[in-house]
Amino acid sequence: MIFWAVTAVAAQNSIEIVVPCGADSPGLQSLIDEVSDKGGGRIVFPKGEYPTGQLELKSGVELHLEEGAVILGSTSPYDYHQVDTRPTAGDERNDKSQLGLIIAKNAHHIAITGKGTIDGQGLELALTIDSLHHKGELVDAHYNVRRQRPSELARPTLFNFVDCQDVRVEDVRLRNSAGWGLSFHQCCDMTLRGLDILNRAYWNNDGIDLTDCKRVLVEHCNVNSADDGICLKSYDPDSGNDSITIRHCEIRSSASAIKFGSASWGGFRHIRISDIRVFDTFRSALAIESVDGAIVEDVVADGIVARNTGNPLFMRLGQRAGHRKGVLRNITIRNLTCDVPFGRPDEGYDLRGPEVDFFHNPFPSSICGIPDNRIEDILLENIEIQYPGRATKGMAYIPLWRLQDIPEQIRKYPEFTMFGELPSWGFYVRHVSGIHFKNVRLSLADSDFRPPFVFDDAEQVVMTNVMPER
């Protein structure tokens, strides 16, 4: 199969308008409407600050931010309104608000470019939402009582694009959303290039979220996020993410760097990931999950270098969505290098992912299906991982004769810590058919009483030039 990385091209600009100093939110929206109505063009933001509420980007319009230009999102939740996504069986948010600072729906040939900055002022906005909820003025029906924060449904994203085509976002600096950063639903033919994303102002601060999108190129982006860095999701059982290229990116995250899921109803097909650098990331460098019935196939990740990262690789085929069985097959991971620290790699983050709430030794990489649904045809080639060691039986101990005591967790949220203590230090493989370890070197920074590999209900296992060092 020939895999094409499609670069979206905005429509030929017919007019150019320079934003006047002091333009307010209604004025900016009027400019966007005017340019779109006249057939499209470019709106230029010169150096300066532009406070605004929600803006809707219309077909044919490019927002161009010159260096020093800053679009500042309003800190009042009343300046944001709903963006409806196409209803899908898997989306628990169908009847709830979808909010964003810059939104677009059913638009085509749209772009945001330049060396300027878009700042959502997310911390102040989220705290205002929290205060209004507790005052009973703007009640969040899904407020997270346990974690004492407004739900992600009540907090605007930085971008929220729905059913858009030919989208280009290049070079801009993107800062401080109250929720997810760049959120794209059911969009196609997109290019996200050269973006500098810092999204650590509040909880659920993902970097980039692609939901049921097709023909997307993400390249040369720097993502620093309090939650997942680049996340592929699927809520539509009849759709999915298809033909996605992610390359030449640098990611830091207090969750996972690149993640498929956990929403996984439709599928993830023809995904190419290459030349990714991961630093100081709490959870997985790469997590591939199908737990709602998604078909995950034809995925190649080539060239991931992860430093100070909590887990190199997590692959999970579960079944939390009732009777729907998913598929996870034909996955190639090659040229993966990772070093795993003993402590938290995200210690310097103001917002850190939730602690593991049980005693445990360092976790291995996990590749786990379920008893009646196996992961199939996995190639791990040219892999080099250093684990921390320092496991002790006094902390936790699962001997090999107790493998049946490791819970299946068939309907649980997928995470590399989900099985509790594991009996190996390198790889734990369960319910897999067809897995090839080729040119794999595992090493320990300190001693570990566990074996490097444990295979449980795994068949067609091939080990070629595998060098675990104790």
Domain edges within the chain: 28-102+120-157, 180-468
151 vs 436: CA distance, rounded Å: 42
Q: CA 241 → CA 181, 253, 313, 395, 459, distances in Å?
A: 18, 22, 20, 41, 29
Region of 409 (left: φ > 0; alpha: ψ -120 to 50; beta: rest) is left
DSSP bridge partners of 102:
55, 159
Q: How far apart are the first and last CA of the chain?
A: 41
The CATH architecture of the domain made up of 28-102+120-157 is 3 Solenoid (2.160)
pLDDT at 54: 97
292 vs 324: CA distance, rounded Å: 6
pLDDT at 25: 83
Domain 180-468 grouped into CATH 2.170.190.11: no
Using the structure block, give the residue that is written with the tokens 């006047």: 20
Taking 50 as the pLDDT cut, the residues of the chain under it are 1-11, 13, 93-97
Q: Do domains 28-102+120-157 and 180-468 have the same CATH topology?
A: yes
pLDDT at 22: 75
pLDDT at 11: 42
In which element (H, E) is residue 133 found?
Answer: helix 122-134
Q: Rounded to an integer, what is the distance from CA 387 to the centroid of its chain?
A: 24
280 phi, psi to nearest 5 deg: 50, 40
Q: CA 67 → CA 223, 224, 353, 444, distances in Å?
A: 20, 21, 34, 47
438 vs 444: CA distance, rounded Å: 19
DSSP letter (8 states) at residue 10: P
317 vs 142: CA distance, rounded Å: 28
71 vs 356: CA distance, rounded Å: 38
Q: CA 401 → CA 73, 396, 398, 405, 420, distances in Å?
A: 57, 15, 8, 9, 16
Establish whether the linkage from the previous residue to 97 is cis, with ω within 30° of 0: no
Take residue 127 and report the two structure tokens written for it: 């705290």
pLDDT at 468: 81
212-225 per-residue burial string, b: 16 or more CB within 10 A, e: under 16: bbbbbbbbbbbbbb
Residue pLDDT, tens place only, 82-138:
877 666 666 654 444 479 999 999 999 999 999 999 999 999 999 999 999 999 999
425 vs 406: CA distance, rounded Å: 15
Residue 229 contacts residue 284 (beta carbons within 8 Å): no
pLDDT at 91: 60
Write the single-letter amino acid at 406.
I
Strands (E) located in 58-213: 61-65, 69-73, 100-105, 108-114, 117-119, 157-162, 165-170, 173-175, 182-185, 188-193, 196-199, 208-211
